[in-house]
Amino acid sequence: MKEEIKKIINENNVVLFMKGTRDFPQCGFSGMVAGVLKKFEVDFHDINVLDNNEMREGIKEYSDWPTIPQLYIKGEFVGGADIVKEMVGSGELLELFDSKDVKHNYSKNDELSISQLDAQGDKDVAAKEEESTS
Give domain status of residue 95, yes or no.
yes
CATH of residue 15: 3.40.30.10
Give domain status of residue 6, yes or no.
yes
What is the predicted pLDDT for the residue at 106? 75
Give domain status of residue 79, yes or no.
yes
DSSP β-ladder status, 14-18 and 45-48:
parallel
Give domain status of residue 50, yes or no.
yes
What tens digit of pLDDT does each residue of 38-80 get?
Answer: 999 999 999 999 999 999 999 999 999 999 999 999 999 999 9
Query: Which residues, listed in sequence order, are joined to residue 45 by a DSSP beta bridge?
Result: 15
- Cα angle value 109/110/115 (rounded, 5°): 130
Give domain status of residue 134, yes or no.
no
What is the predicted pLDDT for the residue at 124? 53
What is the predicted pLDDT for the residue at 96? 96
What tens digit of pLDDT does each residue of 87-131 get?
Answer: 998 989 999 999 999 999 876 655 555 555 555 555 554 554 455
Give domain status of residue 12, yes or no.
yes
Give domain status of residue 43, yes or no.
yes
Q: Which amino acid is at 75?
A: G
Please check whether residue 47 is in contact with residue 68, taking contact to mean a CB–CB distance below 8 angstroms: no
What domain range is 78 assigned to?
A: 2-125
| DSSP secondary structure, 5-63, as one string | HHHHHHH-SEEEEESB-SSSBSSHHHHHHHHHHHHTT---EEEEGGG-HHHHHHHHHHH
How many domains does the chain contain in total? 1
What tens digit of pLDDT does each residue of 6-45 get?
Answer: 999 999 999 999 999 999 999 999 999 999 999 999 999 9
